[in-house]
Structure 1
Amino acid sequence: MYRLGIIGTGNMGRAIIGGVLKEGILKPGEIICYDRVREAMAKTVSEFGVSGAGSAPEVARSSDSILLAVKPQNLHEVGQELSGQAEGKLLVSILAGKRAEEVRDAVGGVRVVRAMPNTPCLVGKGVTGLYASPDVTEDERKFVLTLFNAVGKADYFEKEDLLDAVTAFTGSGPAYVSLLIEALADGAVLCGLPRSVANEFAPALVEGTAALIREKKIHPAVAKEMVMSPGGTTAEGVAVLEERGFRSSLIEAVRAAFEKCREL
Protein backbone atom coordinates (compact mmCIF):
# COMPACT_ATOMS: atom_id res chain seq x y z
CA MET A 1 0.00 0.00 0.00
CA TYR A 2 1.34 3.43 -1.01
CA ARG A 3 1.18 6.27 1.51
CA LEU A 4 0.21 8.85 -1.13
CA GLY A 5 -1.53 8.52 -4.48
CA ILE A 6 -1.61 11.51 -6.82
CA ILE A 7 -4.20 11.86 -9.57
CA GLY A 8 -3.01 14.55 -11.95
CA THR A 9 0.68 15.18 -12.59
CA GLY A 10 0.50 18.74 -13.87
CA ASN A 11 2.60 21.55 -12.45
CA MET A 12 1.15 21.44 -8.93
CA GLY A 13 1.10 17.66 -8.63
CA ARG A 14 4.73 17.50 -9.74
CA ALA A 15 5.69 20.33 -7.38
CA ILE A 16 4.26 18.48 -4.39
CA ILE A 17 6.00 15.24 -5.36
CA GLY A 18 9.30 17.09 -5.72
CA GLY A 19 8.83 18.90 -2.41
CA VAL A 20 7.99 15.89 -0.26
CA LEU A 21 10.87 13.88 -1.75
CA LYS A 22 13.36 16.73 -1.31
CA GLU A 23 12.34 17.21 2.33
CA GLY A 24 12.47 13.47 3.00
CA ILE A 25 8.81 13.32 4.04
CA LEU A 26 8.13 10.39 1.72
CA LYS A 27 10.28 8.05 -0.34
CA PRO A 28 9.72 7.43 -4.07
CA GLY A 29 8.46 3.92 -3.30
CA GLU A 30 5.69 5.38 -1.12
CA ILE A 31 4.11 7.41 -3.95
CA ILE A 32 2.00 6.30 -6.90
CA CYS A 33 0.62 8.64 -9.56
CA TYR A 34 -1.69 8.69 -12.53
CA ASP A 35 -2.41 11.15 -15.32
CA ARG A 36 -4.62 10.56 -18.34
CA VAL A 37 -1.91 12.29 -20.38
CA ARG A 38 0.49 9.36 -20.44
CA GLU A 39 3.48 11.46 -21.49
CA ALA A 40 3.06 13.65 -18.38
CA MET A 41 2.86 10.62 -16.11
CA ALA A 42 5.85 8.96 -17.77
CA LYS A 43 7.90 12.13 -17.26
CA THR A 44 6.95 12.23 -13.57
CA VAL A 45 7.79 8.57 -13.04
CA SER A 46 11.13 8.98 -14.81
CA GLU A 47 12.14 12.18 -13.02
CA PHE A 48 11.17 11.24 -9.46
CA GLY A 49 11.31 7.45 -9.46
CA VAL A 50 7.74 7.11 -8.19
CA SER A 51 5.32 4.43 -9.39
CA GLY A 52 2.85 4.93 -12.22
CA ALA A 53 -0.68 3.53 -12.27
CA GLY A 54 -2.85 2.38 -15.14
CA SER A 55 -5.92 4.28 -13.97
CA ALA A 56 -7.28 6.66 -11.34
CA PRO A 57 -9.17 3.82 -9.57
CA GLU A 58 -5.90 1.91 -9.25
CA VAL A 59 -4.39 4.89 -7.45
CA ALA A 60 -7.38 5.08 -5.11
CA ARG A 61 -7.35 1.37 -4.28
CA SER A 62 -3.62 1.20 -3.60
CA SER A 63 -3.10 4.40 -1.56
CA ASP A 64 -3.72 5.38 2.05
CA SER A 65 -4.30 9.02 1.02
CA ILE A 66 -5.18 10.59 -2.32
CA LEU A 67 -4.21 13.98 -3.73
CA LEU A 68 -6.65 15.09 -6.41
CA ALA A 69 -4.88 17.54 -8.72
CA VAL A 70 -7.03 17.59 -11.84
CA LYS A 71 -8.80 20.57 -13.43
CA PRO A 72 -11.89 21.67 -11.46
CA GLN A 73 -14.18 21.07 -14.44
CA ASN A 74 -13.12 17.41 -14.45
CA LEU A 75 -14.23 16.73 -10.87
CA HIS A 76 -17.45 14.90 -11.62
CA GLU A 77 -15.93 12.81 -14.40
CA VAL A 78 -13.07 11.70 -12.15
CA GLY A 79 -15.51 11.27 -9.28
CA GLN A 80 -17.49 8.75 -11.33
CA GLU A 81 -14.29 6.82 -12.05
CA LEU A 82 -13.41 6.74 -8.34
CA SER A 83 -16.90 5.86 -7.12
CA GLY A 84 -16.62 3.07 -4.56
CA GLN A 85 -12.82 2.88 -4.92
CA ALA A 86 -11.76 5.42 -2.28
CA GLU A 87 -14.33 4.88 0.45
CA GLY A 88 -13.08 5.59 3.95
CA LYS A 89 -9.88 7.27 2.74
CA LEU A 90 -8.44 10.76 3.00
CA LEU A 91 -8.74 12.84 -0.17
CA VAL A 92 -6.88 16.13 -0.55
CA SER A 93 -8.38 18.37 -3.22
CA ILE A 94 -6.56 21.31 -4.82
CA LEU A 95 -9.48 22.02 -7.16
CA ALA A 96 -10.09 25.77 -7.04
CA GLY A 97 -13.66 26.75 -6.25
CA LYS A 98 -14.82 23.21 -5.41
CA ARG A 99 -16.07 23.04 -1.84
CA ALA A 100 -15.31 20.05 0.37
CA GLU A 101 -18.92 18.87 0.34
CA GLU A 102 -19.04 18.91 -3.46
CA VAL A 103 -15.80 16.92 -3.67
CA ARG A 104 -17.05 14.36 -1.13
CA ASP A 105 -20.36 13.96 -2.97
CA ALA A 106 -18.61 13.56 -6.33
CA VAL A 107 -16.16 10.90 -5.14
CA GLY A 108 -18.21 9.31 -2.36
CA GLY A 109 -17.27 8.15 1.12
CA VAL A 110 -14.05 10.13 1.53
CA ARG A 111 -12.76 12.49 4.22
CA VAL A 112 -11.80 15.74 2.50
CA VAL A 113 -9.09 18.31 3.04
CA ARG A 114 -9.40 21.22 0.66
CA ALA A 115 -6.18 23.03 -0.27
CA MET A 116 -5.58 26.32 -2.07
CA PRO A 117 -1.89 26.44 -3.09
CA ASN A 118 -0.36 29.11 -5.32
CA THR A 119 2.16 29.02 -8.14
CA PRO A 120 5.29 29.79 -6.05
CA CYS A 121 4.87 26.21 -4.77
CA LEU A 122 6.64 25.32 -8.02
CA VAL A 123 9.86 26.69 -6.51
CA GLY A 124 9.21 25.71 -2.89
CA LYS A 125 8.06 29.21 -1.88
CA GLY A 126 4.30 28.78 -2.00
CA VAL A 127 1.51 29.71 0.36
CA THR A 128 -1.35 27.23 0.87
CA GLY A 129 -4.62 27.67 2.71
CA LEU A 130 -6.19 24.48 4.07
CA TYR A 131 -9.64 23.48 5.28
CA ALA A 132 -10.40 20.06 6.78
CA SER A 133 -13.84 18.52 7.01
CA PRO A 134 -14.85 17.70 10.62
CA ASP A 135 -14.34 13.95 10.08
CA VAL A 136 -10.64 14.34 9.16
CA THR A 137 -8.46 12.99 11.98
CA GLU A 138 -5.75 14.99 13.73
CA ASP A 139 -3.03 12.74 12.29
CA GLU A 140 -4.43 13.29 8.81
CA ARG A 141 -4.48 17.06 9.33
CA LYS A 142 -0.82 16.95 10.37
CA PHE A 143 0.11 14.78 7.38
CA VAL A 144 -1.50 17.18 4.89
CA LEU A 145 0.09 20.18 6.59
CA THR A 146 3.48 18.48 6.26
CA LEU A 147 2.89 17.88 2.53
CA PHE A 148 2.21 21.51 1.77
CA ASN A 149 4.85 22.89 4.13
CA ALA A 150 7.28 20.97 1.91
CA VAL A 151 6.53 23.46 -0.89
CA GLY A 152 6.31 26.63 1.20
CA LYS A 153 4.08 27.76 4.06
CA ALA A 154 0.68 26.23 4.84
CA ASP A 155 -1.96 26.72 7.50
CA TYR A 156 -5.50 25.63 8.32
CA PHE A 157 -8.61 27.79 8.41
CA GLU A 158 -11.51 26.55 10.50
CA LYS A 159 -14.12 28.21 8.26
CA GLU A 160 -14.15 26.99 4.66
CA ASP A 161 -15.53 30.34 3.43
CA LEU A 162 -12.15 31.91 4.27
CA LEU A 163 -10.56 29.93 1.43
CA ASP A 164 -12.31 32.36 -0.92
CA ALA A 165 -10.28 35.14 0.70
CA VAL A 166 -7.13 33.01 0.45
CA THR A 167 -7.83 32.49 -3.26
CA ALA A 168 -8.23 36.22 -3.86
CA PHE A 169 -5.15 37.07 -1.78
CA THR A 170 -2.44 34.44 -2.18
CA GLY A 171 -3.94 32.51 -5.10
CA SER A 172 -4.29 35.58 -7.30
CA GLY A 173 -1.49 37.46 -5.55
CA PRO A 174 1.36 36.25 -7.79
CA ALA A 175 -0.33 38.09 -10.69
CA TYR A 176 -0.43 41.34 -8.69
CA VAL A 177 3.20 40.99 -7.63
CA SER A 178 4.26 40.08 -11.19
CA LEU A 179 2.55 43.23 -12.45
CA LEU A 180 4.44 45.25 -9.83
CA ILE A 181 7.76 43.70 -10.86
CA GLU A 182 7.06 44.34 -14.53
CA ALA A 183 6.14 47.99 -13.86
CA LEU A 184 9.24 48.57 -11.72
CA ALA A 185 11.45 47.18 -14.48
CA ASP A 186 9.70 49.36 -17.07
CA GLY A 187 10.28 52.40 -14.86
CA ALA A 188 13.97 51.55 -14.57
CA VAL A 189 14.25 51.23 -18.36
CA LEU A 190 12.48 54.59 -18.74
CA CYS A 191 15.21 56.08 -16.56
CA GLY A 192 17.98 54.61 -18.72
CA LEU A 193 18.86 51.22 -17.23
CA PRO A 194 19.39 48.36 -19.70
CA ARG A 195 16.40 46.01 -19.94
CA SER A 196 18.53 43.01 -18.91
CA VAL A 197 19.59 44.75 -15.70
CA ALA A 198 16.08 45.98 -14.93
CA ASN A 199 14.58 42.51 -15.42
CA GLU A 200 17.18 41.00 -13.09
CA PHE A 201 17.02 43.67 -10.39
CA ALA A 202 13.22 44.05 -10.15
CA PRO A 203 12.39 40.54 -8.83
CA ALA A 204 15.49 40.64 -6.61
CA LEU A 205 14.22 43.94 -5.18
CA VAL A 206 10.85 42.44 -4.27
CA GLU A 207 12.40 39.24 -2.93
CA GLY A 208 14.92 41.16 -0.80
CA THR A 209 12.32 43.52 0.63
CA ALA A 210 10.06 40.59 1.55
CA ALA A 211 13.00 38.85 3.25
CA LEU A 212 13.81 42.03 5.20
CA ILE A 213 10.25 42.34 6.49
CA ARG A 214 9.98 38.64 7.34
CA GLU A 215 13.39 38.03 8.88
CA LYS A 216 13.58 41.29 10.86
CA LYS A 217 9.92 40.84 11.89
CA ILE A 218 9.04 44.42 11.03
CA HIS A 219 5.85 45.98 9.69
CA PRO A 220 5.94 46.97 6.01
CA ALA A 221 5.46 50.57 7.07
CA VAL A 222 8.73 50.37 9.03
CA ALA A 223 10.56 49.00 5.97
CA LYS A 224 9.15 51.91 3.97
CA GLU A 225 10.29 54.48 6.55
CA MET A 226 13.82 53.00 6.49
CA VAL A 227 14.33 54.44 2.99
CA MET A 228 11.94 57.42 3.10
CA SER A 229 13.88 60.53 4.16
CA PRO A 230 11.96 63.81 4.57
CA GLY A 231 11.80 65.62 1.24
CA GLY A 232 13.83 62.88 -0.46
CA THR A 233 13.51 60.88 -3.66
CA THR A 234 11.58 57.99 -2.07
CA ALA A 235 9.07 60.38 -0.48
CA GLU A 236 8.49 61.93 -3.89
CA GLY A 237 7.89 58.54 -5.49
CA VAL A 238 5.56 57.36 -2.70
CA ALA A 239 3.56 60.58 -3.00
CA VAL A 240 2.93 59.81 -6.68
CA LEU A 241 1.83 56.26 -5.85
CA GLU A 242 -0.59 57.52 -3.21
CA GLU A 243 -1.92 60.19 -5.55
CA ARG A 244 -2.53 57.59 -8.28
CA GLY A 245 -4.32 55.22 -5.91
CA PHE A 246 -1.69 52.46 -5.77
CA ARG A 247 -2.62 51.24 -2.29
CA SER A 248 -6.39 51.40 -2.82
CA SER A 249 -6.07 49.71 -6.22
CA LEU A 250 -4.40 46.68 -4.64
CA ILE A 251 -7.01 46.52 -1.89
CA GLU A 252 -9.82 46.72 -4.45
CA ALA A 253 -8.14 44.08 -6.63
CA VAL A 254 -8.19 41.59 -3.75
CA ARG A 255 -11.79 42.50 -2.93
CA ALA A 256 -12.90 42.11 -6.58
CA ALA A 257 -11.18 38.72 -6.86
CA PHE A 258 -12.86 37.67 -3.60
CA GLU A 259 -16.32 38.62 -4.85
CA LYS A 260 -15.69 36.82 -8.15
CA CYS A 261 -14.59 33.70 -6.29
CA ARG A 262 -17.82 33.70 -4.28
CA GLU A 263 -19.85 33.91 -7.49
CA LEU A 264 -18.24 30.81 -9.01
Structure 2
Amino acid sequence: MNVMKYGAIVMTLVVSQTASASFWGKVKNTFNDCKYNEQEYAATLAFEKQTTEKLPEHFKGRFSESDFDTKPWMRGFRYVIVVNKASRGYEAQTMKVYENGYLIHKTKVSTGREGFELRRKNKVCTGAPPKSYWSQTPTGYYTPKYLSEDHKSSSWDSDMPYAIFFDIENGLALHQVYRGYVDMLGSRASGGCIRQDKETAENLFFRVKETERSVVPAVNLDGTPVLDENGNVKYISQQEIIHSRTGQLMKFNTFSALIIVEDVN
Protein backbone atom coordinates (compact mmCIF):
# COMPACT_ATOMS: atom_id res chain seq x y z
CA MET A 1 0.00 0.00 0.00
CA ASN A 2 2.82 2.40 0.93
CA VAL A 3 4.64 1.51 -2.27
CA MET A 4 1.58 2.48 -4.30
CA LYS A 5 1.18 5.69 -2.32
CA TYR A 6 4.78 6.81 -2.77
CA GLY A 7 4.73 5.71 -6.39
CA ALA A 8 1.72 7.94 -7.03
CA ILE A 9 3.48 10.85 -5.36
CA VAL A 10 6.55 10.40 -7.54
CA MET A 11 4.45 10.19 -10.71
CA THR A 12 2.65 13.39 -9.73
CA LEU A 13 5.98 15.11 -9.24
CA VAL A 14 7.20 13.98 -12.65
CA VAL A 15 4.14 15.43 -14.34
CA SER A 16 4.21 18.68 -12.39
CA GLN A 17 7.95 19.36 -12.63
CA THR A 18 8.71 23.05 -13.25
CA ALA A 19 11.78 25.29 -13.46
CA SER A 20 11.48 26.40 -9.83
CA ALA A 21 13.00 23.19 -8.52
CA SER A 22 14.59 20.04 -9.83
CA PHE A 23 12.72 16.73 -9.81
CA TRP A 24 14.64 15.41 -6.81
CA GLY A 25 14.18 18.76 -5.12
CA LYS A 26 10.42 18.26 -5.39
CA VAL A 27 10.73 14.76 -3.97
CA LYS A 28 12.69 16.18 -1.05
CA ASN A 29 10.08 18.89 -0.50
CA THR A 30 7.30 16.30 -0.43
CA PHE A 31 8.88 14.38 2.44
CA ASN A 32 9.98 17.41 4.49
CA ASP A 33 8.20 20.28 6.20
CA CYS A 34 8.56 22.73 3.32
CA LYS A 35 5.14 24.32 2.96
CA TYR A 36 3.95 27.26 5.04
CA ASN A 37 0.45 27.02 6.45
CA GLU A 38 -1.73 30.10 6.00
CA GLN A 39 -0.90 31.61 9.39
CA GLU A 40 2.84 30.95 9.06
CA TYR A 41 2.88 32.37 5.55
CA ALA A 42 1.12 35.61 6.45
CA ALA A 43 3.25 36.26 9.53
CA THR A 44 6.54 35.35 7.87
CA LEU A 45 5.77 37.36 4.73
CA ALA A 46 4.87 40.48 6.72
CA PHE A 47 8.02 40.28 8.84
CA GLU A 48 10.36 39.50 5.95
CA LYS A 49 8.98 42.31 3.78
CA GLN A 50 9.44 44.79 6.61
CA THR A 51 13.04 43.77 7.29
CA THR A 52 14.30 43.20 3.73
CA GLU A 53 15.65 46.24 1.89
CA LYS A 54 15.25 46.82 -1.82
CA LEU A 55 18.34 47.24 -3.97
CA PRO A 56 19.21 50.80 -5.03
CA GLU A 57 18.63 51.93 -8.61
CA HIS A 58 21.87 53.48 -9.84
CA PHE A 59 20.98 54.95 -13.25
CA LYS A 60 17.92 57.09 -14.03
CA GLY A 61 18.82 58.15 -17.54
CA ARG A 62 18.65 56.37 -20.86
CA PHE A 63 21.24 55.08 -23.27
CA SER A 64 21.55 56.67 -26.72
CA GLU A 65 23.81 55.67 -29.57
CA SER A 66 25.06 59.27 -29.50
CA ASP A 67 26.68 58.38 -26.15
CA PHE A 68 29.55 56.85 -28.12
CA ASP A 69 30.37 60.40 -29.27
CA THR A 70 29.44 62.43 -26.19
CA LYS A 71 31.09 59.91 -23.85
CA PRO A 72 34.11 58.85 -25.91
CA TRP A 73 35.47 56.74 -23.04
CA MET A 74 32.68 54.24 -23.87
CA ARG A 75 34.63 53.32 -27.00
CA GLY A 76 37.20 51.85 -24.64
CA PHE A 77 34.90 48.82 -24.43
CA ARG A 78 34.67 46.43 -27.35
CA TYR A 79 31.13 45.44 -26.37
CA VAL A 80 28.40 47.61 -24.89
CA ILE A 81 25.35 45.59 -23.82
CA VAL A 82 22.18 47.61 -23.19
CA VAL A 83 19.27 46.01 -21.31
CA ASN A 84 15.94 47.79 -20.89
CA LYS A 85 14.14 46.33 -17.87
CA ALA A 86 10.90 48.29 -18.41
CA SER A 87 7.68 46.30 -18.15
CA ARG A 88 6.08 47.95 -21.16
CA GLY A 89 7.01 50.07 -24.15
CA TYR A 90 8.63 49.46 -27.54
CA GLU A 91 12.08 48.70 -26.09
CA ALA A 92 10.85 46.96 -22.94
CA GLN A 93 12.58 43.69 -22.03
CA THR A 94 15.09 43.91 -24.85
CA MET A 95 18.85 43.65 -25.03
CA LYS A 96 21.03 45.35 -27.63
CA VAL A 97 24.66 44.40 -28.18
CA TYR A 98 27.08 46.90 -29.73
CA GLU A 99 30.54 46.00 -30.97
CA ASN A 100 32.93 48.93 -31.42
CA GLY A 101 29.95 51.28 -31.42
CA TYR A 102 27.86 49.36 -33.99
CA LEU A 103 24.68 47.45 -33.22
CA ILE A 104 25.21 43.75 -33.98
CA HIS A 105 22.32 42.08 -32.16
CA LYS A 106 18.95 42.81 -30.57
CA THR A 107 16.80 40.27 -28.77
CA LYS A 108 14.12 39.76 -26.12
CA VAL A 109 15.18 39.07 -22.53
CA SER A 110 13.60 38.58 -19.14
CA THR A 111 14.74 40.68 -16.20
CA GLY A 112 13.66 40.49 -12.55
CA ARG A 113 10.03 40.16 -11.55
CA GLU A 114 10.47 43.27 -9.36
CA GLY A 115 8.53 41.54 -6.61
CA PHE A 116 9.21 40.00 -3.21
CA GLU A 117 10.66 36.50 -2.96
CA LEU A 118 9.93 34.80 0.37
CA ARG A 119 12.67 32.58 1.77
CA ARG A 120 12.29 28.80 1.90
CA LYS A 121 10.73 27.48 5.11
CA ASN A 122 13.67 25.24 6.00
CA LYS A 123 17.23 24.97 4.73
CA VAL A 124 16.63 21.54 3.22
CA CYS A 125 13.77 22.79 1.04
CA THR A 126 14.13 23.85 -2.60
CA GLY A 127 12.15 26.00 -5.03
CA ALA A 128 12.60 29.19 -3.00
CA PRO A 129 15.65 31.29 -2.08
CA PRO A 130 17.54 30.59 1.16
CA LYS A 131 16.84 34.14 2.29
CA SER A 132 14.14 36.62 1.31
CA TYR A 133 14.90 39.35 -1.21
CA TRP A 134 13.35 41.64 -3.81
CA SER A 135 13.73 40.15 -7.29
CA GLN A 136 15.10 43.31 -8.88
CA THR A 137 17.45 43.87 -11.76
CA PRO A 138 18.76 47.26 -10.58
CA THR A 139 19.62 49.88 -13.16
CA GLY A 140 23.24 50.92 -13.53
CA TYR A 141 26.49 50.60 -15.42
CA TYR A 142 28.21 47.29 -14.76
CA THR A 143 31.23 45.37 -15.97
CA PRO A 144 31.52 41.55 -15.99
CA LYS A 145 33.26 40.20 -12.90
CA TYR A 146 33.56 36.54 -13.77
CA LEU A 147 32.14 34.03 -16.25
CA SER A 148 30.81 30.53 -15.56
CA GLU A 149 29.96 28.37 -18.57
CA ASP A 150 28.01 25.68 -16.71
CA HIS A 151 26.72 27.45 -13.61
CA LYS A 152 24.01 26.19 -11.27
CA SER A 153 22.01 28.42 -8.96
CA SER A 154 22.19 27.29 -5.35
CA SER A 155 19.39 29.72 -4.46
CA TRP A 156 16.84 28.50 -6.99
CA ASP A 157 18.16 24.99 -7.72
CA SER A 158 18.21 25.64 -11.46
CA ASP A 159 20.78 25.76 -14.25
CA MET A 160 22.34 29.05 -15.42
CA PRO A 161 24.40 28.17 -18.52
CA TYR A 162 26.75 30.78 -20.02
CA ALA A 163 26.56 33.02 -16.95
CA ILE A 164 28.23 36.44 -17.11
CA PHE A 165 28.17 37.75 -13.53
CA PHE A 166 28.05 41.53 -13.28
CA ASP A 167 26.79 42.07 -9.70
CA ILE A 168 28.67 39.75 -7.35
CA GLU A 169 27.11 40.93 -4.10
CA ASN A 170 23.60 40.14 -5.32
CA GLY A 171 24.45 37.19 -7.57
CA LEU A 172 23.15 38.77 -10.78
CA ALA A 173 24.21 37.53 -14.20
CA LEU A 174 23.33 37.39 -17.85
CA HIS A 175 22.62 33.74 -18.66
CA GLN A 176 20.66 31.30 -20.79
CA VAL A 177 16.98 31.00 -19.92
CA TYR A 178 15.81 27.79 -18.26
CA ARG A 179 13.93 25.69 -20.83
CA GLY A 180 10.59 26.04 -19.03
CA TYR A 181 10.72 29.84 -19.25
CA VAL A 182 11.63 30.37 -22.92
CA ASP A 183 8.11 31.57 -23.76
CA MET A 184 8.40 34.27 -21.09
CA LEU A 185 11.27 36.08 -22.82
CA GLY A 186 10.06 39.62 -23.43
CA SER A 187 8.49 39.94 -19.96
CA ARG A 188 9.67 40.36 -16.39
CA ALA A 189 10.06 36.79 -15.20
CA SER A 190 13.40 36.16 -13.48
CA GLY A 191 14.63 36.21 -9.92
CA GLY A 192 16.84 39.19 -10.81
CA CYS A 193 19.18 37.87 -13.49
CA ILE A 194 18.91 38.70 -17.18
CA ARG A 195 17.73 35.68 -19.15
CA GLN A 196 18.51 35.21 -22.85
CA ASP A 197 17.79 32.60 -25.47
CA LYS A 198 20.41 29.85 -25.83
CA GLU A 199 22.00 31.09 -29.06
CA THR A 200 22.39 34.64 -27.78
CA ALA A 201 23.69 33.58 -24.36
CA GLU A 202 26.28 31.22 -25.81
CA ASN A 203 27.48 33.66 -28.47
CA LEU A 204 27.74 36.58 -26.05
CA PHE A 205 29.50 34.46 -23.44
CA PHE A 206 32.35 33.49 -25.73
CA ARG A 207 32.63 36.96 -27.27
CA VAL A 208 33.06 38.49 -23.82
CA LYS A 209 35.38 35.69 -22.68
CA GLU A 210 37.77 36.47 -25.55
CA THR A 211 38.30 39.97 -24.13
CA GLU A 212 39.53 38.87 -20.68
CA ARG A 213 42.37 40.95 -19.21
CA SER A 214 41.70 43.92 -21.47
CA VAL A 215 42.58 47.42 -20.32
CA VAL A 216 39.26 49.26 -19.94
CA PRO A 217 37.84 52.44 -18.40
CA ALA A 218 36.80 52.26 -14.76
CA VAL A 219 33.11 53.17 -14.49
CA ASN A 220 30.86 54.14 -11.59
CA LEU A 221 27.44 52.52 -11.19
CA ASP A 222 25.73 55.79 -12.12
CA GLY A 223 27.38 55.82 -15.53
CA THR A 224 30.15 58.33 -14.88
CA PRO A 225 33.78 57.38 -15.50
CA VAL A 226 36.23 57.09 -12.62
CA LEU A 227 38.82 59.86 -12.86
CA ASP A 228 42.47 59.75 -11.82
CA GLU A 229 44.30 62.42 -9.78
CA ASN A 230 44.72 64.53 -12.94
CA GLY A 231 41.02 64.48 -13.83
CA ASN A 232 41.45 62.02 -16.70
CA VAL A 233 39.48 58.82 -17.22
CA LYS A 234 41.14 56.04 -15.25
CA TYR A 235 41.95 52.83 -17.12
CA ILE A 236 42.34 49.52 -15.31
CA SER A 237 43.58 45.98 -15.98
CA GLN A 238 42.09 44.47 -12.80
CA GLN A 239 38.89 45.11 -10.88
CA GLU A 240 38.87 45.51 -7.11
CA ILE A 241 35.66 45.59 -5.07
CA ILE A 242 35.14 45.86 -1.33
CA HIS A 243 32.09 43.80 -0.40
CA SER A 244 29.59 46.15 1.24
CA ARG A 245 28.46 43.60 3.84
CA THR A 246 31.63 41.67 4.67
CA GLY A 247 34.27 44.30 3.96
CA GLN A 248 36.21 41.68 2.00
CA LEU A 249 38.42 42.87 -0.85
CA MET A 250 37.60 40.94 -4.02
CA LYS A 251 39.72 41.03 -7.18
CA PHE A 252 38.56 40.11 -10.68
CA ASN A 253 39.98 40.17 -14.18
CA THR A 254 38.72 42.82 -16.56
CA PHE A 255 36.67 42.20 -19.71
CA SER A 256 36.12 44.61 -22.56
CA ALA A 257 32.37 44.75 -22.03
CA LEU A 258 30.06 47.30 -20.44
CA ILE A 259 26.56 46.30 -19.31
CA ILE A 260 24.00 49.10 -19.05
CA VAL A 261 20.66 48.37 -17.37
CA GLU A 262 18.03 51.06 -17.92
CA ASP A 263 14.31 51.41 -17.21
CA VAL A 264 12.77 53.36 -20.08
CA ASN A 265 9.15 53.04 -21.25
TM-score (norm 1): 0.27
**Structure with the bigger percentage of helix:** 1
Structure label with greater radius of gyration: 1
TM-score (norm 2): 0.27
